[in-house]
Amino acid sequence: MPTPARERGGVSGRRGDRPSKRKDIHERALGLLAVRQRSRKELERRLVQAGFEPEAVATELGRLEDVGLIDDAAFAAAVVESRMGARGESRRAVGIKLQQAGVDRDVAMDALDRAPDSEQDRADRLAETRVARVSGLDPATGFARVSGFLMRRGYAPAVARHAARRALGLEGIDA
């Protein structure tokens, strides 16, 4: 008599049950994609860490790529839009994020090149959002906090200092 797990199509414990094993990989991959968009490499890492065989993972990722559920170019574009647009992060910081996600260098560079604003424009906008927080401080301290914030977001020191000076109205002062 079959057990309830076999009747439901679950894992039966037999090594020969490829369909249910594939289903498990498929379900896990879809579950990960339901949380947020991911790169192929991120999915591969997570599925292998979950104990699935690398060959089975590669096969499943190929299927998901074929139907458009995995698309590193779309993933990179979404990360660039989110991180550079809404969060105001620098090109360098977003590039590192894409590299960590396993996105191919050429795909990442293409997505970064499509960013709508210049690095200085993004830094200027981000600095403007921080000015209210330092308005009661002396100019040197305010400058240090705004420029430090920008540098922590990945902006080059010269870009960060220029944006902080402009936002604080200290353009004629060298710091």
For all residues of the chain together, what is the average pLDDT?
85
Q: What is the pTM of this model?
A: 0.72
Could you give the CA distance from residue 45 to residue 48 in angstroms, rounded to a whole number?
5
Specify the long-range contacts of residues 171-174, CB closer than 8 Å, at least 24 apart. Answer: 173/139
- Average of pLDDT values for 96-110? 95
pLDDT band at residue 3 under the 50/70/90 scheme: very low
Q: What letters, b where the CB count within 10 A reaches 16 and e where it falls short, cover 83-102? A: bbeeebbbbebbbebbeebb
